[in-house]
Structure 1
Amino acid sequence: MMWRRYLMWFAQEHVDFRHAEMQSILTLYNIPIKYVEKPCIKKPYWIVEVPSEEFIKKIASRSVLIKNCIELWGRAKTESQLHENLRSAMKNDTGQWIVNERHNTEISDEYICPSELIQSCCSADKSFKVEIETFCKHFSMQEKVNKIETFSYLPLEGTVKLKNPDVTLAYLEFYGVDPNNVPDKPYDLFFGKWVADGQRDLIHVLSLKKRQFIGNTSMDAQLSIIMANQAKVKTGDLLLDPFVGSGSLLVAAAHFGAYVLGSDIDFMMLHARTRPTRVGQKERHKDESIRANMKQYGTESRYLDVVVSDFSLPNWHERLTLDAIITDPPYGVREPTEKIGIERDNYSLSEEHLVNHVPSKVGYELAHIYSDLLNFAARHLEMGRRLVCWYPFVREEYQEDQLPSHPCLQLVANSEQVLSKLTARRLLTYEKIHDEVPNMPLDPNGGVHNFREKYFCGGEQTRRERKERRAEELAINAANRALKLKLT
């Protein structure tokens, strides 16, 4: 079996999530892959080999970080060398690396593809077009046309068709990732046949700007899709978000075919009675709800329900089994961390007051939230399935060995999203590896370093210091002006 070589061209966003999303998709579809070069976060592309083009299309059908995938025909460091390699490819029977004759070693920056790949696209009955794409540099339309004309030697017999051609050829130039230091010549050049686009359009389809119901902490569409991918959500799965909020994660999971459940302690949010989030909106519309969001995207049939419940109190049947859990627990910053309870000792409630009683709430420490979450996942996840959750931390105090842990769960992915100079959060992906669940006490690593206290203390102290310093400067300046006026 002849493995083909492909270029995966990524968007330069959420770079730290790239490998985790790709590995999840590869294992989801059991796709064999060879890396021609070790993936590097400093480059927006990977060069890989897979046995079939269908595998590349499967990857692209899920990935939101991939822009497009190209069947690689040629690669070089200069335009002249790229054209020379393509001319050689038209006479080449098997794909090969260019061999360095001096050292008899393979040069990883040049490649000649088999001639059959080019010939298969050149028949008279196949229309075509050539697209130009650059990274970190802009070309005018005329410059793009000039570059397209340099490929006139290719034996393309079909007609040019700019909209929906049979074959799309792609020429890409990479000028590095520093927009403030763009070189005159590109570092890398690629040419090949377009195979598939990634799911970048899905970001706009599921955008919060267009969504019927959102809240203060609604997860943006791109991150929601990444979480669903890392949970390896597929058609027919049963998925739960135990801190569901406005249901953004359910929207992404349902898009990939999962049946979705949610729970949250916030009655007002689940019933869309909280203060509107959108600027200028004074009150919630009657048709705002999580169900309305699912109906908006045509996935209402996969929406099971959401329930008002306290996650710290077991309310799911012990035999409930889930295929995935994806969630964003509250950190106590924009949303409170609460559970049902009362701080008074020996408190009792009479039967006459029980009917209309609204339970009071106490703080739900982050240490307890993550211990409860991992224990819940260990009990209710199917073997080999995943929990995907966010974990906040103070950046200067981060240590990987202090992440929440459980003997039944293996941490398989850990990606960082920077929130500020002080704080960040990590997307943690756990996979269930054992069925015998011990009765775990509070996780000693679940304290997240008193994140809420340090978040507010650090931020407010800094602002307070700046305000006091500014007031002091103004007082000194006012005193100096008064003294100057008195002296004059």
Structure 2
Amino acid sequence: MANWRKFILWFAQEHVDFRVQEFDSLVKMFGLQVRRLTEHTMKPFWLVEFRDTDTALQYASRSISLRAMFELYAHSNKLPEFHQRLRNHVTENWGTLAEYFRLESSFKIVVETYNKHFSQKEKVEKIESMDYLPIEGPVNLKNPQVEWWYIEFWGLNPTAVPPEPEEIMFGRLVANGQRHLIKELSLKQRKFIGNTSMDAQLSLLMANQAMVRDGDLVFDPFVGTGSLLVSAAKWGGYVLGADIDYMMVHARCRPSRITQKVREKDESIRANLKQYGCADRYMDVVVADFSNPVWDSRISFDSIITDLPLVI
């Protein structure tokens, strides 16, 4: 029988308004069993319970908002209580934790603070305050086999920092989110872009909210330069789009890059999909007025996602 396990979710402080929606969408898409223990969703650190570790890893495998996820060992808002809980957790769960404290397991301990700066000396003191942990392996700061994180959260208001941390947490790193895709799909290196091309992070978040999964048929009725198609295809969707702007769809509009005078012949939405290894998921794009649908009534889309045009 699976046991509920507690985790710390560390979120990036970007597009925070999408955080809850993305989380709920991924939970629904994968059918995950989860309990959210943190009430204030604007906090960068959430405490959650997943049904098991595999469930937690499923969530991390798609989240763009998530920076990293840690298995929770101890949590408190008072230092003495925190240390006692950490001691108790290691003692009570030694059977499952022993492998992470082995003599041959290299490790590092990271001290992370939010809304508070620690000097290197203060960070070392925090680490030394946990000298009761039965760590035996060698320190490896570049590529450790085990990472433990000590985290202090000092509130969200930089002008009214509390005298003591609001939360103190300690856990083992188990997974990173998928934020590497933001750089991988960056507009800076993309073949075909326009003045209104959506940034990679936002388009990935929208595709997650649309719960795009492998094999889905995804449509963008205001496709522009295809940013949403790129993200949907990256998640496994087969993509197609439409737009009334002939010049944009066929990449004949003026270049938006300052250093570029004319469009290259091979610029296109299809070229963008090919650039990211998703050419096999590109269906087509057409010039069409959204007010006059051109699709056969038998076509059924799994997802329709778009950035609505600004009407003045």
Unaligned regions of 5+ residues in structure 2, if any? none
**Inter-partner Cα distance in structure 2 for 1:148 and 1:118:** 19
Aligned to 2:54: 54
**Inter-partner Cα distance in structure 1 for 2:186 and 2:115:** 26
CA displacement at 1:321 relative to structure 2:
1.2
* 1:202 corresponds to: 181
Partner of 1:2: 3
Contact 1:133 1:173 in 2 (8 A): yes
Residues 214-237 of structure 1, C-alpha deviation per residue, up to 9 Å, x if partnerless?
112111111101111011101111
In the alignment, the residues of structure 2 paired with residue 179 and residue 42 of structure 1 have an alpha-carbon distance, to the nearest angstrom, of 14
Mapping of 1:359-438 within 5 angstroms? none
Moved more, 76-85 or 265-274: 76-85
For the residues of structure 1 that align with 2:126 and 2:266, how far apart are their CA atoms? 53
Aligned to 1:188: 167
Instruction: Give the equivalent residue in structure 2 for 1:87.
Output: 87
Residue 117 of structure 2 corresponds to 138
- In structure 1, what is the equivalent of residue 129 of structure 2? 150
Structure 1 distance, partners of 2:79, 2:265, is: 60
Shift of 1:319: 0.4
Q: In 2, distance between residues paired with 1:175 and 1:310?
A: 52
Q: Which residue of 1 aligns with 2:75?
A: 75
Aligned equivalent of 1:250: 229
- RCO (CA 8 Å, sep 6+): is it higher in 1 or 2? 2
Which residue identity is paired with 1:14?
A: H
Cα distance in 1 between the residues matched to 2:120 and 2:261: 46
Q: Helix, strand or coil: the match of 2:242?
A: strand
1:213-362 paired onto structure 2 within 5 Å = 213-332=192-311
Of 233-242 and 139-148, deviating more is: 139-148
Q: Is the 8 A contact 1:236 1:258 kept in 2?
A: yes
Q: CA deviation at 1:184?
A: 4.3
Kept in 2, the 8 Å contact 1:213–1:293? The answer is yes
Q: Which structure 1 residue ranges, 5 or more long, are not aligned?
A: 93-113, 333-451, 453-488
- Report the Cα offset of residue 141 of structure 1: 3.2
Deviation, structure 1 residue 206: 1.2
Cα deviation, residue 144, structure 1: 2.3
Point out the more displaced range, 177-186 or 29-38: 177-186
Aligned equivalents of 2:140, 2:41: Cα separation in 1: 36
Letter matched to residue 305 of structure 2: I
Letter of the 2:88 partner, please give it: S
- 1:77-131 CA distance string (max 9 Å, x none): 1333322221222332xxxxxxxxxxxxxxxxxxxxx344433311223221111
RMSD, aligned CA: 1.6
**How far is the alpha carbon of 1:34 from its aligned partner?**
1.6
Please tell me the residue identity of whatever aligns with 2:6: R
Corresponding letter in the other structure for 1:331: L
- From the superposition, tell whether residues 248 and 151 of structure 1 become closer, same or farther in structure 2 (CA, over 3 Å): same
TM-score, structure 1 normalization: 0.61
After TM superposition, give the deviation of residue 73 of structure 1 in Å: 0.3
Aligned-pair CA distance for 1:159: 1.8
Q: C-alpha distance in 2, partners of 1:186/1:279?
A: 47
The equivalent of 2:32 in structure 1 is 31
Gap change, CA 1:82 and 1:117, over 3 Å in 2: farther
The residue number in structure 2 matching 1:420 is none
1:171 aligns with 2:153: no
SS in 2 for 1:145: helix
CA offsets per residue over residues 422-449 of structure 1, 9 Å max, x none? xxxxxxxxxxxxxxxxxxxxxxxxxxxx
User: 1:16·1:41 contact (CA, 8 Å) conserved in 2?
Assistant: no
Q: How many residue pairs end up in the alignment?
A: 311
SS of structure 2 residue aligned to 1:26: helix
Does 2:40 correspond to 1:43?
A: no
The 1:210–1:181 alpha-carbon spacing in structure 2 relative to 1, beyond 3 Å, is farther
CA deviation string 1:307-337 (max 9, x = no partner): 11122222111101111111112123xxxxx
